[in-house]
Amino acid sequence: MSDYSTTQSSLPAPAATPSSPALRGRRLAWLDALRGVAALFVVFDHLGYSVLQHARADVYQWFDPGQFGVFVFFLVSGYIVPASLERKGSVRGFWVSRVFRLFPLYVFALIAAVALWKLHLGGISGTDHDGETSLLTHALMLPNVLGSRNAISVIWTLSYEMAFYLLLTALFVTGTHKRSSWYALGFAVAAVALGGLLPMRAISGGFLGTRLVAEIADLLVVAGVALAVTRFRLPKVFGAVLAAGTVMVLVLFNGSWVNPYEALTILALMFTGTMLYRAERGDFDKRKAVAVTVAVFALATVAGLWHPPAWDLSPAATRIAYDRQWVTSLLLAGATFAIGMACRNKKMPRIFAWLGLVSYSVYLLHPLLVSLYNHIPLTQHPHPFPVQLALAAAFLAMLLACCWLSYRFIEAPMQRQGRRFTAWLECWVGPDVSPGHHQRPANARLADARPAHAGLADARPAHAGPADARPAHAGPADARPAESVSRLPSGGPRPAPSP
pLDDT at 433: 64
pLDDT of 309 strictly over 60: yes
Burial class (CB in 10 A: 0-12, 13-18, 19+), 312: exposed
Q: What angle do CA 122, 123, 124 make, to 5 degrees?
A: 140
For residue 416, what pLDDT band results from cuts at 50, 70 and 90?
very high
pLDDT exceeding 70 applies to what percent of the chain?
Answer: 80
pLDDT of 488 strictly over 50: no
pLDDT at 256: 87
Q: Higher confidence at residue 23 or residue 74? A: 74
pLDDT at 14: 34
Distance of CA 260 to the CA centre of its chain: 18
Helix (H, G, I), strand (E, B) or coil at 489: coil
Amino acid residing at 397: A
Distance, in Å, from the CA atom of 316 to the CA atom of 314, rounded to the nearest integer, reads 5
* Chain mean pLDDT for the chain: 83
pLDDT digits (tens, 9 = 90+) for 44-54: 999 999 999 99
pLDDT digits (tens, 9 = 90+) for 56-76: 999 998 899 999 999 999 999
pLDDT at 39: 95
Distance of CA 297 to the CA centre of its chain: 18
pLDDT of 315 strictly over 90: no
Task: Say which residues have a Cβ less than 8 Å from residue 201's Cβ, sequence separation at least 6.
Answer: 147, 254, 255, 256
pLDDT digits (tens, 9 = 90+) for 168-227: 999 999 999 989 999 999 999 999 999 999 999 999 988 789 999 999 999 999 999 999
Alpha carbon dihedral 392, 394, 398, 401, in 10-degree steps, equals 110
Q: Higher confidence at residue 472 or residue 368? A: 368
pLDDT digits (tens, 9 = 90+) for 228-265: 999 889 999 999 999 999 999 999 999 988 999 999 99
pTM score > 0.85 for this model? no
Q: Higher confidence at residue 14 or residue 437? A: 437
pLDDT of 17 strictly over 50: no
**Mean pLDDT score, 439-446:** 41
pLDDT at 455: 46
Is 460 in contact with 468 (CB distance < 8 Å)?
yes
Number of H helices, E strands in the chain: 17, 0
CB atoms within 10 A of CB 435: 12
Helix (H, G, I), strand (E, B) or coil at 407: helix
